[in-house]
Structure 1
Amino acid sequence: MRLASGMSQAKLAEKLGTPASYVAKYGLVERRLDSIELCVIIEVTDAVPKIFS
């Protein structure tokens, strides 16, 4: 979602109000997303979740 929206890890972290290292851990699979975090990321990246459409 982040890459598809053309957003850097730093920009996503800024929009989420978290450190960039926090966002990097998603990509490195060192941290799992819960459903609430996923919804927030979908919102800030303007992604369209196909699974729900």
Structure 2
Amino acid sequence: MKQREAADEMHISREHYSRIENGTRRISLEMLFILMNFYGEDANTILCIKDGEYFE
């Protein structure tokens, strides 16, 4: 998946999306739901949480 496609879906710039991926920009709850729908994943997967712990 290209950053541009995900950024377009979220109505943000590719640079903004890149900062989200790199962890230098936080996302809103609304953007979390958009990402969950876009990627077909749950919140824990999007937020890199496994067994209650953050992982990279």
SS of residue matched to 1:10: helix
Aligned identity (percent) is 14
What's the offset of the Cα at 1:50?
Answer: 7.2
Q: Which runs of 4+ in 1 moved over 6 A?
A: none
RMSD: 1.8
Aligned length: 44
Q: TM-score normalized by structure 1?
A: 0.64
Q: Which of 35, 39, 42 in structure 2 is aligned with 1:45?
A: 39
What is the rounded CA distance, in whole Å, between the counterparts of 1:50 and 1:38 in structure 2?
7
Gaps of 5+ in 1: 1-6
What is the rounded CA distance, in whole Å, between the counterparts of 1:11 and 1:38 in structure 2?
16
1:8-37 per-residue CA deviation (whole Å, 9 max, x = no partner) reads 111101122211001000112110122221
Q: TM-score normalized by structure 2?
A: 0.62
Gaps of 5+ in 2: 45-56
What is the rounded CA distance, in whole Å, between the counterparts of 1:46 and 1:39 in structure 2?
10
Tell me: higher relative CO, structure 1 or 2? Use CA pairs within 8 A at least 6 residues apart.
1
Q: Which has the higher strand share?
A: 2
